[in-house]
Amino acid sequence: MKKVLILFSHPTFEKSRANAILVEHVKNKEGVTFHDLYEEYPDFHINVSFEKKLLTEHDVIIWHHPFYWYNCPPLMKQWIDMVLEFNWAYGPNGTALESKTCLNVITTGGTKELYCSEGSNSYTVDEFLRPFEQTANLCLMNYLPPFLVMGTHKLTEEELEAYGNKYSELIDTLQNKKTNSIEHGVT
Amino acid sequence: MTGNILFNVIVFLTSAIICVYIAKRLGLSSVLGYLLAGVLIGPYVLGFIGEEGEDILHFAEFGVVMMLFLIGLEIEPKNFWNMRKTILGMGGIQVVGTILLSYFLFMFFGYESNVSLVISMAVALSSTAIALQTIKEKGLMATTFGTSAFSILLFQDIIVIFMLGAIPLLSNAKNAPIEKSVGHGNLLDGLPFGFQTLAIILSVASIIVAGRYLIVPILRKVARTGVRELLIASAFLIVFSISLLMEYVGLSPALGAFLGGVVLSNSQFKHELESTLEPFKDLLLGLFFMAVGASINFVIISKIPLTIGGLLIIIILLKAFVLFITGRIFKLKFDQKLMLTFGLAQIGEFAFVVLSFAFQLNILNQEQMDIMLVVTALSMSITPMVSAFNERILLPKIGTKESIKRPMDHIAKSHKIILVGFGHFGSTVGRFLRSHGIEATILDHNSNRVDFLRKMGFEVYYGDATRKDLLESAGIAEAKILICAIDNMDVTKKVTKLVKENYPHVELMVRAKNRDAAYDLLNMGIENIYRETLDTSLALAKDTLSKMGFRKYTLNRQVKNFIKYDEDSLRRLATEPKQDKNFIFKARKELEEQERLLNADLERGVVIYDDLWDSEQIRKTLEKQQKNNTAQNK
């Protein structure tokens, strides 16, 4: 069974209805390490060696965060800047993350209709996630399409529960099956 | 002779160590231990000391002198001037009130009027030694009770001069010839009154001037030599010289020493003088209390126990009554008033002086003298017990109550937090918790603060947090966390030990004064230790480096690294055995500790920068790669 590391970044987790439900469904699963970055590093002082150790111990890396200004929250970016070191994660000898699996799990306030060339956000989420995709590529990881929960403001409790179950199923799939054949997305 | 002296010293020290140890273990004031030791080695129990007891008493009075010098050091002239109303007002009411009441009392008992007056004067005086030592021991100097007691005692110290001046006037004419042979004498005897007054004013002025322009420059020179014992010698020289000068002009040495202390309180040697004299003062005071204990005449007590006992109770009640009224007039809070009432109700050591002076002048006869001496010594001896009764039994029930009933707040109760100590540190903690809707149950031993906090709607328990029953009533059984924000580390250790042993489910968050305290707490198995100096000093260092051109964000990260490193080294060094930890001279110990830390810093390197956001390494690697490539191409 593959080991999954959820790097969760949310500056106001206590106020997020959607993420509370999502996290509830996955954080205690077997083989899953739920790592709450804002709780661990409230002062942005990331323990790089500890993070590197965590990464080497896991096969699947999930960047789980809300979508703020078409991007991740700042601590998540800080994590990328600090932890993915030259000659470790990338560079001539940077092979530490080679062939690990990586994906974003994202909640957005706006609905799917807003994230397209006709919508007010002009681009799709996948397009906005190009930097993450390329980051994973440079680190020799297999980047999978994101798991999206969109329009969270309008979702009912039941719908959120359904997303939670889906998130959990996704992790089951990632743990047991060959990962590069997975197709998922929002219905 | 030498053997004799050595033997006496050994007797004194042994009994003191044993009795004070026992008293402290029982949670009583050390004064009581010393008094008991005195009784034990006195002529009526073990008989180690007999006649010389009185000489020892005189010698040990230097302890009182030193204590007032040290108290003077703590009071800056400006504050002293601000206290003038309390000193004159409270002191005046107490002394005059007590003298009047007791005068009528003794007249009623059928004493002659001059005898009654002399005894009343003696009765009016309280014991500076006992009262102030107890107040300091309990850390109550800053409370209204502390300052009131101090003001009254200071006034008594001043008024005793006038008493000694007035007593000869009371002696019967037929005894006049004896007066001359007495020679209580000072240089000014026989001079006209005006000259005496002038001399007194001049000598007080000379203390003030000498303090500024003679003592401080001398101390500066002495300090420059770096020889520590010279400083000790100078400190003693100051106190002894002032005492001698005061005795020459007929003032109380204690008063003079107090003035000297006030004058020097602004100088930079304040703390050095304090730390130098403190241990000697404590020992001498101990000796003084033992001498008092030894001077209790048990023969008289066994002869007329009822008279002595009755007199003792009546006098203490009378003094207590006047003190209570005084407190009332000056609007002291009820429990502060009670502490004052019981704290100063004894007859003090100056009574010995007044009484024996009057005896020498034949105003008192042998019997009256003996009775009063015994009553005085007894009243001093029972003060600690009376105070303990007041604190343990009376105060918790009346005045600022230990607890008040409040409607239960169930959410707060189920996440119960107890905050011990609500001074500068604790109040900040409490305010921040409260701003998050978390109401801590507060324990504090300052009654004024407690009342204020209750008005603000806090749930506050009043009293000594080292008492298990108080913690119980504050609800420690259901508490989740206990925050210990006490300033005094000895108390902190007691509280944390008590909680850790008896309530293992309670998580402890503890304020530590410094590294040393943190070591001790760590070794006690406390995990959450907050050194109050760590973050602040690093913030200052950070800002300093920033002013020198270092970038703030980098400094911020380095501070975080430093704190982590320092915490790690704290935990590492705490387990290393420290030899003779308690006996090494404190200053040297601190220096050694500093050296240890600086060495460790040196081994670690001045600063370790990580490679984060550092393009240097990338550039070098890429350069190397390029060279390889070109080499291959060739």
How many Cβ atoms sit within 10 Å of the Cβ of residue B110? 8
- pLDDT at position B398 is 67
- pLDDT of B84: 83
CB contact, 8 Å: A82 with chain B?
yes
φ and ψ of B244, to 5 deg: -65, -45
**In a domain? residue A53:** yes
Give the global pTM: 0.53
Backbone angles phi, psi at B75, to 5 degrees: -110, 120
Comparing A6 with B466, the larger pLDDT belongs to A6
DSSP-assigned letters across all residues of A29-44: STTEEEEEHHHH-TTS
Give the domain extent around A29: 4-181
A87: closest CA of chain B, how far (Å): 8
Q: Which residues of A touch B610 (CB under 8 A)?
A: 48
For residue B509, the surrounding DSSP H or E stretch is strand B507-512
Q: How far apart are CA B160 and CA B61, in angstroms?
A: 15
Residue B628 touches partner A, C-beta closer than 8 Å: no
The residues with which B510 forms a beta bridge, in sequence order, are B484, B529
The CA–CA distances, whole Å, from B289 to B51, B253, B278, B286 equal: 16, 18, 16, 5
Interface test with B, best of A41, A44, A45 (most B CBs within 10 A): A45
Q: Tell me the C-alpha distance between B552 and B550, whole Å.
A: 6
pLDDT at residue B159, as a whole number: 82
CATH of residue A119's domain is: 3.40.50.360
- pLDDT score of A66 more than 90: yes
Q: What is the mean pLDDT of chain A?
A: 91
pLDDT, averaged per 10 consecutive residues of chain B (634 residues), comes to: 71 86 76 82 76 69 79 76 85 92 89 88 87 78 82 84 77 47 49 71 82 81 76 83 81 79 78 78 81 79 86 91 90 83 86 80 82 85 81 71 48 68 90 85 82 78 80 84 91 91 91 89 91 91 91 85 83 67 52 68 60 74 81 72
- This complex has an ipTM of 0.76
Closest partner CB to A92 (pick from B557, B610, B625):
B625
A185 or B24: which carries more pLDDT confidence? B24
Distance between CA atoms of B597 and B150, rounded to whole angstroms? 43
Contact B621 A82 (CB under 8 A): no
What's the CA gap between A87 and A3, in Å, rounded? 24
In a domain, A187, yes or no: no
User: How confident is residue A89, by pLDDT bands cut at 50, 70 and 90?
Assistant: very high
Contact A82 B617 (CB under 8 A): no
Number of domains in chain A: 1
A115: in domain: yes
Chain B residue closest in CA terms to A42: B560
Give A74→chain B minimum CA distance, Å. 15
User: Which positions in chain A touch B618 (Cβ < 8 Å)?
Assistant: 86, 91
How far, in Å, are B338, B345, B388, B389, B445 from residue B397 at the CA level?
12, 21, 14, 12, 15
pLDDT at A69 over 60: yes
Q: Which chain A residues have a beta carbon less than 8 Å from that of B628?
A: none
Q: Specify the pLDDT at position A148.
A: 96
Q: Is residue A153 part of a domain?
A: yes
Q: Is A185 on the interface with B (CB under 8 A)?
A: no
Residue A186 domain-assigned?
A: no
Q: Chain B: give the shortest CA distance to residue A62, in Å.
A: 23
Whether the CB of A138 is below 8 Å from some CB of chain B: the reply is no
Q: Please, what are the domains in chain B?
A: 53-393 (1.20.1530.20), 410-604 (3.40.50.720)
Q: Does B244 touch chain A (CB under 8 A)?
A: no
Q: What is the number of other CB atoms lying within 10 angstroms of the CB of residue B429?
A: 19
Site from A50, A86, A87, A138 to mutate, B interface, most B CB atoms within 10 angstroms = A86
- Only one residue has tokens 């200053």, namely B587
- In-domain check, residue A52: yes
**Reduced to 3 states, what is the DSSP secondary structure of residue A5?**
strand
Q: pLDDT of B243-281, one tens digit each?
A: 888 877 777 777 788 888 888 887 777 777 777 787 888
